[in-house]
Structure 1
């Protein structure tokens, strides 16, 4: 009886040990582990560097044009007179006061005359013409030697060959001897055009005004 009891107790202890063993240690369910083989580094794919592209930036240039009006103040010398676009001018010889246009675009002064006739005197070329201060005024006959001839072209007209003579022009209190080219013309708005050969170093022109100098004052000569 004691032997039978000992065997029963031994089997019972063995059964408890089987039930208390972890499942991972169970001989029926445990599988042999597969060995891990070492990897050769030379067989690995190369590592590629990925560079992210910078975002495209569009620059839009906007050009704004601005027009500025530049005002330039030109100093006027005290020894220069101011002329308007139209002035009264006395011409010599003749002693006539004519309505003149101050023409800064003309290199020389120009005078409209009547009955212009060239002739020769003492082997030199002269010109005879009549000059009038108005339709009702009596013309004055003038004879002057010809210095040279010039060709003048105007829009809509043929080139003209004009004689050039020396004449004295007086504007205000200023008198200059200048070259004047002569043109025969019956109808004219301004019988005299005062060019740059009179204006240079003598006057400045204010085109917004007329008759600034008033009546010409001829120089007085002491005897």
Structure 2
């Protein structure tokens, strides 16, 4: 009995010790302090490298501009032929009028703009009466000429015209020719006279880049 009692006392004391250790909180480990941050030393930073970009390739294109200046070159022509510009002054006979003329190599015959075109008969022949003005304030000249024949002229945008043809004397520079001229009745016109190939043939060459080459025409020798 005493042995059993001693054994019970020892077990009781061991249980109390276990309870005492379980009720006692175990100490909490405090976190270790972090070392304080030290400021950076500029000497410890890596050196800054300068980056140089390559320059783009530039292509230089050289442009050469040639300027052409108009130059009048005198070209030798056939003997006894004169040079005419695209515009000239002609003297017309009968009438003794100095008219501004357009030199037209595309026209077969010469043409004259007149006023009050009136056909009539004289001695059984057909004649034509008209007035011719040089564009000034002077009174138009009255002219009567026999009709050689008639021609039909077609112009773009206009009806075909039946025009009388007469012989007239045209003078430019020192050259005079008697040629056929068709008459057209027009009131307002820029060029009262159009000189065609029937005057230019075997008499003149035309330089279309020039104007009024021959200047004031001389009067024909038979003029009063």
Shared fold, TM over 0.5: yes
Q: Distance in 2 between matches of 1:147 and 1:141?
A: 19
Shift of 1:219: 3.0
Would you say how many aligned residue pairs link Structure 1 and Structure 2?
150
- TM-score normalised by the chain length of structure 1: 0.65
1:139 and 1:187, CA in 2 relative to 1: closer, same or farther beyond 3 A? Answer: same
Q: Distance in 1 between matches of 2:222 and 2:159?
A: 43
Q: Deviation string for 1:158-216 (max 9, x for gaps)? A: 00000000000000000000000000000111000000000000000000000000011
After TM superposition, the structure 1 = structure 2 runs for residues 12-91 of structure 1, keeping only pairs within 5 Å, are 76-91=77-92
Q: Distance in 2 between matches of 1:81 and 1:75?
A: 10
Shift of 1:130: 0.1
Partner of 2:99: 98
Q: Distance in 1 between matches of 2:139 and 2:157?
A: 32
After TM superposition, the structure 1 = structure 2 runs for residues 104-119 of structure 1, keeping only pairs within 5 Å, are 104-119=105-120
Q: Distance in 1 between matches of 2:138 and 2:210?
A: 27
Q: Distance in 2 between matches of 1:148 and 1:221?
A: 25
Please give the secondary structure, in 2, of the residue aligned with 1:197: helix
Q: Distance in 2 between matches of 1:78 and 1:166?
A: 26
Partner of 1:142: 143
Q: Where does the alignment leave 5 or more consecutive residues of structure 1 unmatched?
A: 1-73
Please give the secondary structure, in 1, of the residue aligned with 2:189: coil
Partner of 1:128: 129
RMSD over aligned Cα atoms:
1.7
Please give the secondary structure, in 1, of the residue aligned with 2:199: helix
Q: Which runs of 4+ in 1 moved over 3 A?
A: none
Q: Distance in 1 between matches of 2:118 and 2:217?
A: 29
Partner of 1:68: none
